[in-house]
């Protein structure tokens, strides 16, 4: 198993007890559960609580309902060409920079020994190089997925990781609070979390799209973490692109309308996304939020402190929540101090 090769110990998702492997799969001595290993990928789903079942993965070799579907594009000819063009247009970069998972990994790696990294909901991406200790999990098989795991019940012992990454994941879980508590549990003291979560975006992935977060709602979700840096992930131009497309599609259900409407919306996307960087003070109507936090050991940040910080923290976003400044510190010789950052940086969450 790749997980073992990377040096990660797997635990029962139900009770976090250690697992033993034999030809049938991975056994939990504590609860008696048997978890299959499908094509080298352990399926560590808690059948008693997850919306997914172990059988979803074992029966047909893969549950595809919540996958991103990019590698499963079975179209051919003109349709395949259209799909590729649509992806290229739809993935047009925002003119508002925010750190991606690779930048955060490099930032964390610069601070000390190679970090143990958990990617929750890795989708089709592969993070890190051969020297990195990155374990990728998802609820769908994919080229980079090492373990099938549900974020509500992570199959790892406490303090097993130094960095957890969850990009475009927390809108797809039934209970984000529980998932973030699990992330907190598997992080070692001094560990970091990096999350990107939508705010104003239409539903995607249907029945597996449960919620959205305002900027302060997102910050509160991580109230057991100190903020290192945070900001807007997609700006108001991206929101315009989303809603323009949704409005066009809502005119008619007829296929003769929806195809050209979808294409027109895609054509407008690169142009509208260029507005993200122009409309720099639109955090209150952003497409999404990103948050980089350090695990707190004691009590969470109080709601009163969070609300007080809103007035200094978000009004100027993203200008006052600099993504690059905080992500390029010189590697500290000792753990960074827990003192509040100056108000000018906008990071007043520690107050």
- Which tokens go with 182? 């699990």
* H or E segment to which residue 34 belongs: strand 34-35
Least gap, CB of 17 to Zn ion (angstroms) = 5
* DSSP class per residue in 133-201: EEEEEESS--TT--EEE-TTS-SS-TT-EEEEEEES-GGGSS-HHHHHHHHHHHEEEEEEEEEEEESS-
Kindly state whether residue 119 participates in binding Zn ion, applying the rule CB under 5 A: no
Taking CB under 5 A as the rule, which mask of x and - marks residues 32-51 in contact with Zn ion?
-x------------------
d(C-alpha 38, C-alpha 70), whole Å:
21
Given the complex with Zn ion, which of 158 and 202 has the nearer CB atom?
158
Kindly state whether residue 12 participates in binding Zn ion, applying the rule CB under 5 A: yes
Least gap, CB of 51 to Zn ion (angstroms) = 19
Least gap, CB of 10 to Zn ion (angstroms) = 11
Kindly state whether residue 29 participates in binding Zn ion, applying the rule CB under 5 A: no
d(C-alpha 280, C-alpha 282), whole Å:
6
Which one of residues 15, 71, 91, 303 is an interface residue with Zn ion (CB under 5 A)?
A: 15
Kindly state whether residue 31 participates in binding Zn ion, applying the rule CB under 5 A: yes
Which one of residues 8, 10, 14, 191 is an interface residue with Zn ion (CB under 5 A)?
A: 14
Tokens 């594009």 belong to: 73
Tokens 């143990």 belong to: 116
Q: Which stretch binds Zn ion (CB under 5 A): 14-22, 106-114, 207-215, 285-293?
A: 14-22
Least gap, CB of 11 to Zn ion (angstroms) = 8
Given the complex with Zn ion, which of 18 and 144 has the nearer CB atom?
18
Given the complex with Zn ion, which of 153 and 276 has the nearer CB atom?
153
Least gap, CB of 45 to Zn ion (angstroms) = 12
Q: SS3 sequence, 111-131?
A: CCCCCEEEEECCCCCCCCCCC
Given the complex with Zn ion, which of 28 and 127 has the nearer CB atom?
28
Task: Give, in order, the Cα–Cα distances in Å from 180 to each of 101, 153, 175, 244.
Answer: 17, 10, 9, 32
| Cα-Cα-Cα-Cα dihedral sign, residues 278, 284, 290, 293 | positive
Binding residues for Zn ion, per CB under 5 A?
12, 14-15, 17, 28, 30-31, 33
């Amino acid at each position: 198993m790749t997980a073992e090769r990377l040096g990660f110990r797997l635990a029962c998702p139900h009770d976090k007890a250690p697992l033993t492997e034999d030809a049938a799969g991975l056994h939990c001595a504590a609860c008696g559960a048997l978890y299959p290993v499908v094509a080298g990928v352990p399926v560590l789903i808690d059948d008693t609580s997850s919306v997914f079942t172990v059988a979803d993965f074992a029966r047909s070799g893969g549950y595809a309902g919540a996958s991103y579907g990019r590698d499963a594009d079975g179209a051919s000819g003109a349709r395949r060409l259209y799909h590729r063009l649509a992806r290229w247009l739809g993935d047009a970069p925002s003119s508002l920079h925010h750190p991606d998972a690779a930048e955060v990994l490099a930032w964390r790696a610069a601070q000390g020994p190679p970090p143990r990294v958990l990617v929750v909901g890795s989708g089709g991406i592969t993070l890190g190089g051969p020297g990195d200790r990155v374990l990728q999990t998802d609820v769908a098989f994919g080229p980079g997925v090492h373990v099938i795991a549900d974020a509500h019940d992570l199959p790892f012992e406490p303090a097993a990781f130094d960095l957890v990454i969850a990009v475009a994941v927390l809108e797809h879980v039934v209970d984000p609070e529980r998932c973030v508590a699990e992330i907190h549990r598997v992080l070692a003291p001094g560990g970091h979390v990096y999350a990107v979560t939508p705010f104003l975006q239409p539903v995607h992935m249907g029945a597996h799209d449960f919620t959205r977060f305002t900027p302060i709602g997102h910050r509160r979700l991580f109230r057991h973490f100190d903020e290192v840096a945070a900001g807007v992930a997609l700006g108001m131009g991206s929101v315009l692109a989303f809603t323009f497309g949704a409005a066009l599609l809502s005119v008619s259900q007829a296929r003769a309308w929806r195809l050209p409407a979808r294409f027109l919306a895609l054509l407008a996307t690169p142009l509208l996304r260029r507005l993200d960087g122009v409309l720099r003070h639109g955090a209150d109507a952003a497409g999404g939020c990103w948050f980089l936090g350090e695990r707190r050991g004691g009590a969470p940040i109080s709601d009163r402190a969070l609300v007080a910080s809103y007035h200094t923290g978000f009004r100027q976003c993203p200008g006052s929540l600099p993504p690059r400044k905080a992500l390029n510190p010189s590697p500290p010789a000792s753990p960074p101090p827990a003192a509040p950052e100056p108000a000018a940086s906008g990071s007043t969450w520690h107050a």
